[in-house]
Structure 1
Amino acid sequence: MAYRVLIADDEEIIRQGIEFLVDWERLDCSIVERCANGQEVIRFLEQSPSGVDIIISDIRMAGADGLDIARYVSQNQIPVQVIFLTAYADFSYAKTAIEYSVTDFVLKSDISEGLPRAVEKAKALLAQKQEEQKKRLDAEKLSRQNRRYHLESLLRSVALGTGPRAYDNLKDEEPYCVVTFEVTDSPQAVPSSGPASMAEPHIIRTALMDYDTVMIGLSSRQCCGIIFLDKSRHTAGGLVKALHDTIHIVEEYLKADAFAGVSREHLRMQDLEAAYQQSILALNNVFYSRNRVNCFDPKITDGKESPVLPSIQQLIESLSEALRSDSPETILGMLEDYCASFIKSGEPFHIFKKNMLSVYTVLTADVKQMDMMDEWEMQKADESFYTTVETSKTFFGIYESLRKYLALYLRLRENFSGTQSSLIRQVNSYIHKNYNQNISLQTIADTFLVSCGHLSRLYRKETGVSLISAINNRRIEVAKRLLKDPRNRVFEVARAVGIEEPTYFTHLFTQVTGVSPSAYRKQLESLGGHPL
């Protein structure tokens, strides 16, 4: 590197002599400024404190002199080396110069030889300080990394309830709070886009870059973090606004609804477990407030007296009765009342998980009995809900997921029951179960004790397609899913959907989809395995 040199002397001929008597290029130096007095030097340093490495100054100058320059450099801790020039051996300045860490003295009569030696000494001191600075920065970086790793491990053990609670090496720093984020299923999410994931919460870190944060992912739907609050820069209101902005970014990025629960402010790291639990309670209070960001407040309720918590058997019987009586609009309200009562009851969370799985299983049991399996599977409802129950740590997350899929189920059920007669619903159920058998219009008509002509006319009238087309469409939809697996050969797929002759299967597949099974599989491969 080229060292930057500033020359200060009240005699222009001395400034010129310093510049021309020394081989600055050989010393790896360049002259960046020339000043006639100390005031000019100080003004330069005020405007550009890092713009120079070495100052060569006369000790005595009118107004501010060399000692004034050295004092300013010392008091402001500017990383620069000062060399004094003097016309005589006046060592009465030595004590003050040492106090301000002046690098060296050079007699003006010895500039050509003495100044290069002093500059080399200044360069060595600069290099030494730079090395010390680098070591200090490296040590601070390592310390920050160790602290972050320690806090991440501690937070993970607290959130997951595993491992020891190692507080010994942590000192209390600035105040902090714990925030837990959770995403729920979104009706607007595109199924093929993949699940929303909070396992790597880099979005949160980026959105909260103004805060010192330690974030960990807990599952694909949840993450939490410690947010340190610098009282000179941060306020409680500012944090809430930042969290609302963060929620907006998360929702845009993940295409899913997101919520946050915020603990109270804490000072001691030993309170981390309590802070985490507060963030979870705040997140559960979303059930009442529906706010995107909820701060911990144990007094939050829905303002109603909590009814007696019914048993899960009573709940399921009531929900099933609502379905049988064709009043499904009451189901979501009954479910919300039950969840509110359960939260207030203080019953263990794992019991709530088990109960919601039971509700989901019972209420959606007839999905396969109706002609709506394809849309249900497209939403990956079962897999998504079971994953939510397994990974969620809040009542609200499970309730929201169950509410979404029950709403989808009720909509499909309403469409199904509202447009088709009982006989056609039974026929569609029969096709969905027996598509892989040797079924035909005749076998189905015989099964339901009706004539082929009546069944054919009624089916086309209510569905808009022929019964044979419905059978073939069902077979081809299943075949398309089987063809996604490259291990399934075409003739094996044909047999799996009830067609023994591969040639006829290829003809039928091409007729329905517009491409042959082999061409369809190639299209899948080119699109990364996503269905057309």
Structure 2
Amino acid sequence: MYEILVVDDSVLDIDCILFLIDKYKLPLHAATAVNGQEALKQLQTPGKHFDILFTDIKMPLMDGLELSRETRRLSPDTRIIIFSGYNDFEYAKTAITIGVQDYLMKPIVPADFAATVNRLTAAIEEDGRQAEQTRKRSRLLKSHLLLLSVNNCLSREDMDALPENYSHLMLVECDEEFFSQEGIDFQEKLESLLPFSFDYLNLYPTRSLLFIRESNEPRYKKEAYLLSAAQTIALSAQEEYGRKCYITFDRLPERAAISRVYQRLEKKMETRFFFPERTCLLPDSSAQSVVASGHISMDILTDDLKLKDYSSLNQHLQEIFDSLKDEKTHSLIYVKYCFTELMKEITGSLPPSDRPDLVGLAERIYASSNITELIGMTEALAEQLTARPDSLEKDNLKIEQIKQYIYRNYAEPLTLDEIASAFYLSPNYLCSVFKKETGCNLIKFINDYRLQRARVLLTTTGMKVHMIAETVGFKNTSYFCQRFRDYYGESPESCRQKETRL
């Protein structure tokens, strides 16, 4: 239904128009006013919008031409029809300059009125379709640019094409396929749940990324919002969809850092395999990883050790060393206790045959005379860990075999657990090694290959789009089309038509 405002100082003429709307079953919901000022008040009502203004010219207080000018100012897309018993060219000429769509003479010819309304509603509908297509193209372009930025495929100049400035990235991941099914509805749910504006990018069926837009909120307050939002997302996914989601986020210092921050979030997300009870994985910042409420937090070091990420381990150890050297309020006993905890963590990751005697180690720590000795002892222990050969499991791992397995089975609903099981590996170890050896996330590799195979089928066969989606491993056709548009910047049908023309 379309909203129409009928304005005339003659109640009889208004009743006539209402009768014609009912007689011709026109898709109109009508409001009325008996003069221009009364009509203007309705036009100014917050949240009220009229698709059509149907007004007489000669009226007390405010005539139809002045009302039309005000309507055009307040609501540029409202269609205006003027009707009058005055057959005066000057009125018609003024109406044209205002942007009136039609001019009908009194007495109204019923068929002319119906034809005019039908023509205007058809134009409104067409404008709506075009506006929606424009919005879709805009969303498609933005999603494509965001995807390219995540994959580090945009130059600094191209980054300027992004229409928004972002302060943070938030990564949301699920163990099973979610964002290709209920997750489409979940996106709308997020928009109603979260207290800030964001752009949403689905990366693949198990992972989505939120680009949090800049706001005037202080940074500390924004990050408090984000932590609360992460908890809200996890709770909503569990309660309403029965899915466990993991969320992590981090600050985005500049647009050019999107890929770098995303990789950091990926790394943090990998720790969920070791800490399945955590749903909100806090970002790694020196304030959180080094000192928390006056105590050193071991969480980040535990993550590094379990992930065998010795580069990060050394970096975080250095942060802790710097913090302890700069901190003058801790007692000597507390500092030595902290180093004992650090070395216990590192020692626990060494093979039993290489582990030093903990009692003797503790005695050396408490006998030390300065912090430099403690740092040297810890660094020597960490070097033992980083210098030892990689495990036999890694030596035997053949990344090429994993790729071949994907090439053979990409049409099946591959899961991380399934692939890991096929190669007798832990899911986390598989992810870490695959990323290190190929530079690509394993799940992204699978989905990119599926989309590449889909493009080949589109351009070399006459298969229907829904059949291609199923053939390359996508259960949901609309989700497949969305992912294809994000990846290639065009729809599957457009891709096929373009290739056919070449």
Larger radius of gyration: 1
**Which structure has more RCO (C-alpha within 8 Å, separation ≥ 6)?**
2
